């Protein structure tokens, strides 16, 4: 792993789960981590309910733009966190992979997205604790 861990969050549309996770890791990890996100089939925009849910906890993801996950992005990352994108994520030796089973916020109301957001926060905090020295 590099001196500054590089983390890539991947979900299908890069519009909800991966954007929320990237928002949390960027906010909590600051310059101690490099954060990217992508999707196997990027949407046109970030999920508006995910934006609202993250605003409630003081994190603004509204400027995010769904990006296509590339093999290069995976190869340049130390940790790759997938969220429901199945087998489309390329596998490279020496990378740490985790698959977070999370509900898709697409089409869900704020109450449901809050639960997903809170689950993501707990997972990101645990990930960060394992990446950075105490």
Q: What is the dihedral of CA 49, 102, 114, 23, to 10 degrees?
A: -70
What confidence score (pLDDT) does residue 71 get? Answer: 87
Question: 72-131: per-residue pLDDT in tens?
Answer: 998 999 999 999 766 566 677 788 999 999 999 999 999 999 999 999 999 999 999 999
Say whether pLDDT at 3 is over 90: no
pLDDT of residue 87: 58
> What are the catalytic residues?
11, 85, 89
pTM over 0.95: no
Q: What percent of the chain has pLDDT over 90?
A: 80
Per-residue model confidence (pLDDT) at position 92? 77
Which structural domains are found in the chain, ordered by start?
6-128 (3.40.50.2300)
Residue 121: phi, psi to the nearest 5? -60, -45
Is residue 1 over pLDDT 80?
Answer: no
Mean residue pLDDT across the chain: 92
The fraction of the chain above a pLDDT of 70, given in percent, is: 93
Compute the average pLDDT of residues 42-63: 97
DSSP state of 10: E
Separation in Å, CA 24 to CA 31, 35, 125, 128: 13, 10, 8, 10
Between 15 and 93, the higher pLDDT residue: 15
């Amino acid at each position: 792993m590099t001196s500054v861990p590089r983390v890539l969050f991947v979900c299908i549309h890069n519009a909800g789960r991966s954007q929320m996770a990237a928002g949390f890791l960027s906010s909590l990890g600051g310059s101690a981590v490099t954060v990217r996100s992508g999707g196997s089939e990027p949407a046109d925009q970030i999920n508006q309910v995910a934006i609202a849910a993250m605003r409630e906890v003081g994190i603004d993801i509204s400027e995010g733009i769904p990006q296509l996950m590339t093999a290069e992005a995976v190869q340049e990352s130390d940790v790759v966190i997938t969220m429901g994108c199945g087998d489309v994520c390329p596998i490279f030796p020496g990378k740490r992979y985790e698959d977070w089973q999370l509900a898709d916020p697409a089409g869900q109301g704020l109450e449901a997205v809050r639960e997903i957001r809170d689950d993501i926060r707990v997972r990101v905090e645990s990930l960060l604790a394992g990446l950075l020295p105490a």
